[in-house]
A and B are shown apart, each in its own frame.
Chain A
Amino acid sequence: MEFAEHIKTANVEDVVLRQPLQPPSRGTLCITGHHLLFSDREESDSRQVLLLLRNIDAIEKRMSGSSGTITMKCKDLRVLQLDIPGMEQCLNIAHSIETLSCLDCVSAMYPFFYRPVDLSLPEQWGLSSPEMHYSQMKELYEKWRLSTVNRDYSVCPSYPPAVIVPKSIDDDTLKKAAKFRQGGRFPVLCYYHKKNGMVIMRSSQPLLGANRKRCKEDELLLQAVIEGSDKGYIIDTRSMQQAQQARMTGGGFESKSFYDRWKRFHRQMERGKALQESLIKLVEACGDESNNMDRWLSKLENSKWLSHVQNALSTAGLLVECVERDGHSVLVHGSEGTDCSLLISTLAQLIMDPCCRTMEGFLGLLEREWIQARHPFQQRCAHSAYSHARLQQESPVFLLLLDCVWQLWRQFPLALGFSEALLLRLATEVYASDYGTFLCNSDQERCALEVKERTHCLFRALLRPTERDYYSNPLYERTELAIWPSVHPQSLQLWKGYFLRWTQQVRHLEEAQEEIRNMVIEWGKLARS
């Protein structure tokens, strides 16, 4: 294995590990190609810490005399410290961690090596596929069809091979419409509202450019979506000004004159770098241990994280209002249609559709919207809040989604079939995982690397009986109603379970939650017996 060349020192004795919520312990440190393993020397009650190197976001090393200290800041926001005897050993370990924690080669990543004894590689990777999804939705058959125009990823490299489109639109039209949309992401169906037959469509921005090109096929496609109704809505996740500026670089928005039955809303949503910087500020504030009157609330406000949460939830609320209340179909896009569009379409489905609120439903939703419809996880989650590396494509959009879902869970403690623990698990897995689910940037890349054949699928693992029990919400009661969140800043809270996760208090609350879950399950069992 080529990992060996990065490991000059594989074992060190007499290392002291300091980690949150635990007393320091002394023991042996081991570095492998993917892991850092620490085992202490206590005879009784011996403890091991196994950490994916991928989880380490940044390290700091400090030398003093003949020993050194390595501080490791993890993507799950944990901060660990190693006191290592011997300068050379310490430098070697630090070098290994630095290199191995951010290897670019996907096929060398741990999911390709993860082979638990109790699990064989699945015959079916993932929970569903666009084909299965379509075949289960009989309501769609009359007006919608499954197109395999993208079967070889040539029309849109970031779409799955099969997508749902209006029946009246043929593949040739789709091909032409795709040329008019950034990255080929032509409008496809992502949600069908059974109550009134309205739909949510997703796409990227139209490529109008400075000289306002138009595309008949794209217009036809959208026209077909609202056939039989008087109008549709477009929610553009950029401000009007941003959308106009996008024309200078070849993009743009659907103009009134060519799409006269579509009404456009602009809702500026932060993305990319701004979102990443917000996360960095927030995590910095959360980690500030100074105990004086530290103006915590101002720092929290300045990080703007909660206003991003608010913005995402209220834009999703707008989308739900259009579909559920006004009874109109909606097209959602920003520029690329791979970040904010996914965020708000996911939230809207969760708010409207009780089927998305069970654990299977929720994971299925994530699979459709984020894995199949392609959120570039590898780029977005390469680093988290601690990294000093220059920011490239990193952006915590998925984390923002989980935070928004947590806010829903807090406001509607009975409505979701899963618990906070599931959201925490996903928030950890998305940055560093044993599973292949969040690898790569698209379905096409996953196929090229045989991710589906050579790795385990997280979503399937989470639905095994023991795991499913663990992540279920004991208070869950299905409601058919939409769960409209309150988006006032007074109604939103910092997600302490995640951002203050490694504090005693939050750990205690986590335990209390588990205690409550066990209690309720136990009562139910005995009452039924």
Chain B
Amino acid sequence: SFRTIIPTRKESLKMELLSDVSLLPGEERITDKDIIYICPFSGAVKGKVLITNFRLYFKSSDADVTVTLDVPLGAISRVEKMGGASSRGENSYGLDITCKDMRNLRFALKQEGHSRRDIFEVLFRYAFPLSHGLPLFAYLSQEKYAETGWTIYKPVEEFRRQGLPNNKWRISFINKSYDLCDTYPTVLAVPYKSKEEDLRKVAAFRSRGRIPVLSWIHRENQAVIARCSQPLVGMSGKRNKDDERYLELIREANDTTKLTIYDARPNVNAVANKATGGGYEGDEYQNAELIFLDIQNIHVMRESQKKLKDIVYPNVEESHWLSSLESTHWLEHVKLVLSGAIQVADKVSSGNSVVVHCSDGWDRTAQLTSLAMLMLDSHYRTLRGFQVLIEKEWISFGHKFASRIGHGDKNHADQDRSPIFVQFIDCVWQMTKQFPTAFEFNEHLLLTILDHLYSCRFGTFLYNCESVRDQHEVRSKTVSLWSLVNSKVDMYLNPFYTPESGRVLYPVASMRHLELWVAYYIRWNPRIRQQQQSPVEQRYKELLALRDEYLKKLEQLQLSDSSTSSHLANSPTPNTTSSSTSTPSQQYTHLQTPL
């Protein structure tokens, strides 16, 4: 009986170790195993790993060190075997896992009996399901939420919010079956005077048919942000009258004297693109000026992020931190993206329409239009408005999430991968730091978005464009990330948010005022992590509750006020002025900071 008792005890201990994992609905255990996690911060830690079809979970068994890892398999970009059956040295035989979210994991196993073979295979299979003919986890998830995130963005409604259609701009359904442009959404806003056949002719002259369409219109001055891909000028310097005429229509829509075309690329790259059939708008575009914004391409950004990872993981650079950071150029790229967006926003707010493009118009262009819109339109600075912005400018306009992130794909060295969306979120974070009261959402939302950019738990960031998403029935078969977010809004709200509808935010895009987003890029290092984070979060939650209570009381006060004085009756929200001298309402009105 002695023999049988011991294994049972051991077994129950192991079970206990993994018993606190709460699996998602639809998540299934695949395997578990005793393993050693080579933690870069606490050294080798014995424990047990659990692999499900969604995550890798590790829990230490040593009483003195508690280490828990909970990594969605979607975050894994590469799994490698480390050492061989004959490798010498302690913990030299095992697995090396590279993640997409700025960390690496290393596990050691016993050398006897090919102990890593099954776990390697399981990991490889479930981390890269698409390479093995398996579905992404988003299709297996059975999660249910009170809110349906898929309805957060309705193109026609969003255009209506912007005041469209009007007598200068119309809504076109020419792309309803994706035959004008297979990477565009079905609903497009185009100049009122352009005919459907014009659009087809323009599409022939724009890379991948991505014609200039309206992204945003300024309610007062009617200036617009239009986006597109590069014109197919080529080496011979081709012209296209229809394209030229079409841009004229955009200019004429609000009598802009000169249409400004922002080419996100550095000048030399734009020239080089002619060799592959692309190019930029030349002098033949009368009444147009072309400005290059000097933002580098996806390959440069990928290398920059790689360098950044090198100096923050596993060990942070200590002695020459700032100059090392400088040599990654990451902040410099952030600066260029931000300052490009500032130029776009400034042009539009001074009444001039702009057209923004890069090469294909789905990376840098998306960064510029969405950031400019965030500066111009306070709606996008609300929790739900921000979701709309991402759905609209990134997801519906075909930022190639699948290619840039490589969801479920084993090909880690794919040259199409690039942290363009991460860079965008970084720019948003820089803005939230510079304007602590202007955004309804908090840093936690940005972190959550980036976590699920990789996790494959939600359908939101899957696939490259709408047409492919339709083929894969993403909306009906997967859950939206916004379902999660909008079901527990409190977690993502900034207690200090002060709505100011008319205000244009111009962040300062000088190196002096930019910071590395430590809470994201260095969050795996327990020594760098912001200390006492939970009391701060707790305090913010209390403040949110206090604010709600305050707003409720304020409303009551105003109600009782309006019963006596009728002029307040048409103030819809507490943030319009009240005649009383109570400071609360002043608070919302005196904040207009001149820029």
Contact = CB atoms under 8 A, between A and B. Distances in A.
B528 A486 contact: yes
A177 B434 CA distance: 55
Contact of B518 (A413, A491, A504): A491
B564 interface: no
Given A515-B498, A522-B583, A298 B322 contact: yes
A477 B535 contact: yes
Given A516-B436, A516-B437, A523-B550, A414 B515 contact: no
Interface in B395-450: 434-437
Given A298-B326, A411-B531, A488-B318, 7 more contacts: A296-B511, A298-B323, A484-B531, A490-B312, A503-B513, A504-B595, A526-B550
A515 B584 contact: no
Interface in B456-511: 496, 498, 508, 510-511
B536 interface: yes
A461 interface: no
A512 B494 CA distance: 14
A424 interface: no
A216 interface: no
B511 A526 contact: no
Contacts of A413: 536
B498 A490 contact: no
B316 A519 contact: no
B332 interface: yes
A518 interface: yes
Contacts of A527: 546, 549-550, 553
A519 to B, nearest CB: 6
Nearest to A522: B584
Contact of A414 (B498, B508, B518, B535): B535
A293 B584 contact: no
Interface string A497-514: 000100111001101110
A516 B512 CA distance: 24
A137 B337 CA distance: 58
A508 B318 CA distance: 32
B587 interface: yes
B577 to A, nearest CB: 16
B355 interface: no
A365 to B, nearest CB: 21
B522 interface: yes
Contacts of B550: 522-523, 526-527
Contacts of B238: none
A389 interface: no
Contacts of A86: none
A412 interface: yes
A505 B535 contact: no
A486 B536 contact: no
B527 A293 contact: no
B513 A500 contact: yes
**Nearest 8 CB-CB pairings of A with B:** A489-B321, A301-B322, A297-B326, A296-B511, A523-B550, A505-B508, A297-B322, A523-B546
Contacts of B317: 489
A297 B328 CA distance: 11
Interface residues of B, number: 49
A526 B553 contact: yes
Contacts of A4: none
Interface of A: 286, 291, 293-298, 300-301, 306, 411-415, 475, 477, 479, 481, 483-486, 488-491, 493, 496, 500, 503-505, 508-509, 511-513, 515-516, 518-520, 522-524, 526-527, 529
A298 B530 CA distance: 25
Contacts of B23: none
A348 B397 CA distance: 55
Interface string B520-552: 001000011111100110010001001101100
Nearest to A285: B512
Given A490-B321, A491-B518, A526-B550, A296 B539 contact: no
A500 B513 CA distance: 9
Given A298-B326, A515-B498, A522-B584, A490 B316 contact: yes
B320 interface: yes
Nearest to B507: A505
B22 interface: no
B543 A412 contact: no
B522 A519 contact: no
B513 A505 contact: yes
Nearest to A296: B511
Nearest to A476: B539
Contacts of B553: 526-527, 529
B67 interface: no
Interface in B357-408: none
21 contacts: A296-B511, A297-B322, A306-B322, A413-B536, A414-B532, A414-B535, A475-B543, A477-B535, A479-B532, A486-B528, A490-B312, A490-B321, A491-B528, A505-B508, A508-B593, A515-B587, A518-B583, A523-B550, A526-B553, A527-B549, A529-B553
* Highest count of chain B CB atoms <10 Å: which of A414, A490, A515: A490
Contact of B543 (A503, A512, A520): A520
Contact of B527 (A475, A488, A493): A488
A293 B436 CA distance: 27
Contacts of A295: 326
Nearest to B591: A515
* Highest count of chain B CB atoms <10 Å: which of A291, A481, A504: A504
B21 interface: no
A437 B182 CA distance: 73
* Highest count of chain B CB atoms <10 Å: which of A491, A503, A523: A523
Given A412-B532, A518-B583, A511 B593 contact: yes
Nearest to B547: A523
* Highest count of chain B CB atoms <10 Å: which of A493, A516, A524: A516
Contacts of B554: 526
A512 B435 CA distance: 7
Contacts of A301: 320-323
A508 B434 contact: yes
B298 interface: no
Contacts of A500: 512-513
* Highest count of chain A CB atoms <10 Å: which of B312, B516, B530: B530
A509 B320 contact: no
B522 A486 contact: no
Contact of A486 (B331, B512, B527): B527
A490 B516 contact: yes
B436 A524 contact: no
